[in-house]
Structure 1
């Protein structure tokens, strides 16, 4: 098979949850364990960090991988979904999985897939684990796909588990209350394995404490130890860097550090990242201050992270961000509210299994809207989104394809305006491909 034929096989034979929704989701670890057994249990042949959470798990995973790379380690990184290319999901020291490797791997195991009938995601995890084992990585950072307890990644026993934050997302699969969702995320806490929670949230704190006690695992709420205060410098959009003052146990730590991600919400991720690095040091990893500084500053160059408050144009300022659930979108809107502009233009798309009405209720009424539909089966039709938006008091129209909506917004905007693009990871993915 060619690379294109291999991708077509994977997408058609193994439905992808991100594209089609529930039809591509299989609950439970049986298939993951069956694939692992057939491949010789590759997840037991490398050390790992496991990262779950509703928001921030992707950024935190990339930040951890960047620091480990900067310290000289051979680092695997598994994240999902991809923005443009399947191979983004699996990286070795920032380099994407070689397409030829994917073709050979699928050809080798195709008979097994037809026997086990795994989901797309189960196959992706098996590929990542087998690849990291064969490449003999020093450590791999593994991001959970959905939930934690029954997520396909959860067959590993990591050195440390990290849970970033808990908010409402995928309620049909994870539960309707924050404690129910937290219980699913807490499922990555393994017997005797230290666990870090980035953010103390009183309504779910007991869930993590109970699970850690049950598993005999040390538990740390990272924001009890670390605080990150953003220093406004006024040139972040030009430099691509924002500055933070870090404190540890209330005392200055590392002085001022620069972060190569511009979302103000990264302040919520930094405590968890720093606490995990502490735990890895306790387990023998050499992670000097210089590596921490470089990893934080050069995270996008080292790991290829995109889509988090990404600036794709200036005059007018054009920003895209993948934040799409209630908590993530609220933080993005807070940052938008701090910008100075004459007029705000919002390019928005959504998927059909999200609480779109709740998202629309959060959006600013004074903005001009350009509604669109990403090119995936799961996308909410743009005309339906525009109708719902009108009922919510938002002024705008449907432009159909993402590219058309973005072009219309950029054409309408004056140099001192702001264009924001988001609402769905898949809208951002198409924009990333258009403007990278």
Structure 2
């Protein structure tokens, strides 16, 4: 069995709750989390972008940075990187072979196993810092078991209702539990009043005060990330970096911070795949991220004119997106509804029901066929937006070879 097949065999199993298995597996490999300096990124939207920005800034300062993110776009190796270089299969294989008995005994979930592999690998490679993106929630997420020195909260909103709770208070409470006795500092983006109260209460219990990045806006221009929300993410990272500088944990100058932010690459976020026709891919998949994308797209249309606008969308099921998705209808001339290649995909006919104008709405269930159809019908003067899920990425990669490779950066011009 190959490494991919082995990991996928675990991936097909159910989500498991609790930190017990992660802590046991970390203990089995000599507690690598106690030998690294890690920062955990928690939230609903923007976790990946903030993690990538912080990693890029630290790397620009000459530090070795381990980055653990999820989900991946094409390859599971994307989830574990050091200074942008993905982990090689030989390292994953080495871990699995070395701790095979412990894995069988503990039976970690797919995400738990990858979390521990990442920390083990980062410690083995002697990185200076680890940036760890939380997978889901905070209370029981395996990243929370990693004795993180710092916590960064990105915007918290409604998502994963069936797992975290059906109110913003329940979701925020779950995420706030990432703060624990190991936490030394906490930063947060601007949050709504109720979320802010919940986070501050949790921090107070641990004698901590949260530093919020509220309305400040950086003056920098991001080369590869687009939208007001990304500038807000950048401000959050600047706050954290300034703190680390002031505490003499790092030593970065303003130029290094600015360059690190400017050059951050994080695919699948207003990701321009090509020009003429312009094709944009975005993994926005919940109400808040879809709203942010629509705001960014409106700004983009102010400086870029197109003859026709196509939307291809596919989503995972159980997403409460009906109300925000209705706002997309008037922005596009043609809408193609498709499905992700996963068992929990939202049926394409259900997506189509959201849109009132049936004349400009088309259902093509197969994602490869839907992408092919849109590419065939768009002219050089048109724009195509592919929207809705990380799980669309493998299909996109077959049409735009290596579009997610780090040496294939595209300017937003």
TM-score, length-scaled by structure 1: 0.86
Per the alignment, do residues 332 and 141 of structure 1 end up closer, same or farther by CA in structure 2, a change over 3 Å counting?
same
Return the match for 2:11 from 9, 12, 15.
Answer: 15
User: Is the contact between residue 369 and residue 394 of structure 1 (CA under 8 Å) also seen in structure 2?
Assistant: no
Partner of 2:119: 129
Where do residues 11-410 of structure 1 align in structure 2 (5 Å cutoff)? 11-12=8-9, 14-16=10-12, 24-191=14-181, 193-223=184-214, 226-228=216-218, 245=219, 256-284=220-248, 285-300=250-265, 305-338=266-299, 339=301, 340-365=305-330, 367=332, 368-386=334-352, 388-389=353-354, 395-410=360-375
What secondary structure is seen at the aligned counterpart in 2 of 1:227?
Answer: coil
Question: C-alpha offsets along residues 357-394 of structure 1, whole Å, 9 cap, x if unaligned?
Answer: 345334224521112222222222334433x3456868
Long gaps (5+) in structure 2: 404-413
Alpha carbons 1:350, 1:356 under 8 Å: kept: no
CA distance in 2, matches of 1:310, 1:117: 37
Residues 316-359 of structure 1: CA deviation (Å, up to 9, x unaligned): 21101111110000110122223132221001101123225345
1:259-278: CA deviations, max 9, x gaps? 43123320221221111101
Q: Cα 1:393–1:171, aligned 2, differ >3 Å: closer, same or farther? A: farther
Match of 1:252 in 2: none
The runs of 5 or more residues in structure 1 that have no matched partner are: 17-22, 229-244, 246-255
- Whole-Å Cα distance in 2 between the matches of residues 24 and 261 of structure 1? 34
**CA pair 223-432 structure 1, distance change in 2 beyond 3 A:** farther
Tell me, yes or no, if the aligned pair for 2:224 and 2:262 is still in contact at 8 Å: yes
Change (3 A) 1:40 1:310: same
TM-score relative to the length of structure 2: 0.90
Structure 1 distance, partners of 2:291, 2:25, is: 39
CA distance in 2, matches of 1:80, 1:260: 20
Structure 1, 197-206 or 76-85: larger mean CA deviation: 197-206
Cα distance in structure 2, aligned partners of 1:286 and 1:100: 34
Larger mean Cα displacement after TM superposition, 283-292 or 377-386: 377-386
1:235 equivalent in structure 2: none
**Larger mean Cα displacement after TM superposition, 308-317 or 53-62:** 308-317
2:288 and 2:222 map into 1 onto residues whose CA distance is 25
Q: String of CA shifts for 1:21-74, please: whole Å, max 9, x gaps.
A: xx5311110111111111111111100111011011100000000000000001
Offset of 1:400 from its aligned partner?
2.6
Q: CA RMSD in A?
A: 1.9
Indicate the residue corresponding to 2:410 in structure 1: none
State how far apart, in whole Å, the 2-side matches of 1:424 and 1:403 are.
Answer: 14
Deviation at 1:101, TM superposition (A): 1.2
Q: Given the superposition, is the C-alpha separation of residues 221 and 370 from structure 1 closer, same or farther in structure 2, using an over 3 Å criterion?
A: same
User: How many residues were matched structurally?
Assistant: 394
For residues 296 and 307 of structure 2, the distance between their equivalents in structure 1, rounded to whole angstroms, comes to: 16
Task: Give the 3-state SS of the residue equivalent to 2:205 in structure 1.
Answer: helix
Q: Distance in 2 between matches of 1:34 and 1:190?
A: 18
Question: Is 2:188–2:211's contact at 8 Å kept on the other side of the alignment?
Answer: yes
Relative to structure 1, is the Cα distance of residues 168 and 429 closer, same or farther in structure 2, using a 3 angstrom cutoff? farther
**Corresponding residue number in structure 1 for 2:409:** none
